[in-house]
């Protein structure tokens, strides 16, 4: 049997590209998505054994159900990419708290639950690699996307801590921090009326995924996902005050009056 990789958010964007790169490296893919389009993944990755699993990761029952489905497959887990995620644009005073709680459930709670199952399984087999997609937004306050950035900071810090714990068990953890990337992400977040509404200037998801997968197999603790400008922005964030970063971010994320 070929090695197995579980990829959440594999139906589109960065997750699809991660699945594609892992397939090229000889992995069978268990691809997870929220909607029916995950069922198209086998056709999109011809020549690879692909098992699509549908689960709404905002729902705790479905997160646990997903893990049970995985266990029933009776496969070892060699690579896990916790990548599914979303954002929500708009002023905090206007956004709906129910949407924000769902965002926390997807971007944080579901990842922690899956990481618990995955870590225990990989420690028991004394091997495995975990890739956690966070964001460059982990390194800055994110006004007008006010809940999203903190979910990515949580996951970045969590990934680094988990990495240290799992090291002695032969399991490595790598965090991927993409800069803005040309996927459906900002459109779905309702950010059309911001600088992020335009995909033309953003990173190529294929490049972002390639950097993440290379870092995963090199055992790196993290990698910035993107071009030179993205790496420069990451460096600048290290040396800027939180207040100045918040101001800069708001210039790009605050909805303008465009139709």
Report the interface residues with ligand NAP, using CB under 6 A.
Answer: 9-15, 33-35, 37-38, 55-58, 83-86, 106, 133, 135, 178, 180-181, 183-185, 188
**C-alpha span between 178 and 133 (Å, rounded):** 8
150's tokens: 């903190």
**C-alpha span between 43 and 249 (Å, rounded):** 39
**C-alpha span between 83 and 88 (Å, rounded):** 17
Across-strand partners of 106? none
Q: Minimum distance from CB of 257 to ligand NAP (Å)?
A: 23
Q: Minimum distance from CB of 168 to ligand NAP (Å)?
A: 28
Q: Which is nearer to ligand NAP, 44 or 188 (CB)?
A: 188
Q: Minimum distance from CB of 57 to ligand NAP (Å)?
A: 4
**C-alpha span between 125 and 247 (Å, rounded):** 47
H or E element at residue 60 = helix 60-72
Q: Which is nearer to ligand NAP, 169 or 188 (CB)?
A: 188
Q: Minimum distance from CB of 258 to ligand NAP (Å)?
A: 19
Q: Which is nearer to ligand NAP, 166 or 208 (CB)?
A: 208
Q: Which is nearer to ligand NAP, 127 or 193 (CB)?
A: 193
Q: Minimum distance from CB of 217 to ligand NAP (Å)?
A: 19
What secondary structure does DSSP assign to 161-215, as a single string? HHHHHHHTTTEEEEEEEE-SBSSSHHHHTT-TTSGGG-GGGSBPHHHHHHHHHHH
Q: Which is nearer to ligand NAP, 123 or 207 (CB)?
A: 207
Q: Which is nearer to ligand NAP, 30 or 86 (CB)?
A: 86
**C-alpha span between 166 and 145 (Å, rounded):** 32
What is the biggest distance separating any 2 CA atoms in the chain, rounded to whole angstroms? 55
Beta carbons of 32 and 55 less than 8 angstroms apart: yes
Q: Which is nearer to ligand NAP, 136 or 171 (CB)?
A: 136
Q: Minimum distance from CB of 221 to ligand NAP (Å)?
A: 17
**C-alpha span between 50 and 29 (Å, rounded):** 5
Question: Kind of pairing, strands 222-225 and 171-178?
Answer: parallel
Q: Minimum distance from CB of 10 to ligand NAP (Å)?
A: 6
């Amino acid at each position: 049997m070929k090695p197995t990789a579980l990829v959440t958010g594999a139906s589109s964007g960065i997750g699809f590209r991660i699945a594609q790169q892992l397939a090229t490296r000889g992995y069978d893919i268990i691809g997870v998505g929220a909607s029916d389009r995950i069922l198209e993944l086998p056709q999109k990755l011809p020549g690879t054994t692909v098992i699509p699993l549908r689960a709404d990761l905002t729902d705790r029952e479905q997160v646990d159900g997903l893990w049970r489905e995985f266990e029933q497959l009776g496969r070892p887990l060699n690579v896990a990419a916790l990548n599914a995620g979303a954002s929500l644009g708009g002023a905090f005073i206007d956004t709906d708290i129910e949407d924000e709680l769902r965002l926390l459930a997807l971007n944080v709670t579901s990842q922690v639950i899956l990481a618990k199952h995955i870590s225990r399984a990989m420690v028991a087999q004394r091997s495995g690699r975990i890739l956690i997609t966070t964001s460059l937004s982990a390194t800055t306050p994110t006004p007008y996307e006010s809940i999203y950035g903190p979910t990515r900071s949580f996951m970045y810090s969590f990934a680094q801590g988990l990495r240290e714990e799992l090291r002695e068990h032969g399991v490595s953890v790598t965090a991927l921090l993409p800069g803005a990337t040309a996927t459906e992400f900002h459109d779905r977040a309702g950010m059309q009326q911001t600088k992020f509404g335009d995909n033309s200037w953003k990173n190529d998801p294929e490049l972002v995924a390639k950097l993440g997968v290379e870092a995963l197999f090199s055992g790196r603790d993290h990698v910035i996902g993107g071009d030179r400008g993205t790496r420069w922005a990451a460096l600048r964030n290290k040396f800027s005050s939180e207040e100045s970063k918040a101001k800069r971010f708001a210039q790009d994320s605050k909805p303008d009056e465009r139709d």
